[in-house]
Amino acid sequence: MVYGVIVAILFAGDFFLKKQVEEKIEKDQQHEVCGGKIVIQKYYNNGAALNFMEKRPKVLRSFCGGIVLIVGIIWYLFLREKRNPGVLLGLSLMLGGGASNLYDRIIKGHVVDYFSFRTPWNWFNKIVFNISDMFIFAGSILVVLFGKGK
């Protein structure tokens, strides 16, 4: 039950943040926070990471839908058997984040991204994220860390 709540909270939380960004931030505005280390902005990502496959939105939407479906099935199997809480938490993060981004792709035709980091690496500064991206990344790390062994 708790893992289902995690998925729902992650989806709803990012949905709320995206809605706030869409309503309150103009397309070219940038707001620095955390001493300029994080930049809040509105960015519509028509592709996957770094606009990968932006020219093939239907293929990308189907591919992402398939991944979310597979993660959901694996999540359900782990949940049903109450196996490996670390992997289950990781899958929950991935499922909540993936479902949120997939929702954007289906309903809006793009994913709403809204923050980037200021680092010494210019190439990294150009990447705009949303919280779901962070959940997917963190969940993937948990699955790898806790997935080893029995």
Between CA 128 and CA 112 the distance in angstroms is 9
pLDDT at 9: 97
This model's pTM is above 0.85:
yes
Segment 45-83, tens digit of pLDDT = 988 877 778 788 889 999 999 999 999 999 999 999 887
pLDDT at 96: 98
28 is catalytic: no
Helices (H), 25-150: 57-81, 85-107, 122-125, 131-147
Contacts of 84 (CB under 8 A, 6+ apart): 78, 146, 147
Segment 7-51, tens digit of pLDDT = 999 999 999 999 999 999 998 899 999 999 999 999 999 888 777
pLDDT for 150 beyond 60: no
Q: Strand order of the sheet with strand 30-33?
A: 30-33, 38-45, 111-117
Region 126-146: mean pLDDT is 96
CB 101 within 8 A of CB 130: yes
Q: Which of 14, 28, 104, 113 is catalytic?
A: 113
Terminal alpha carbon distance of the chain: 23
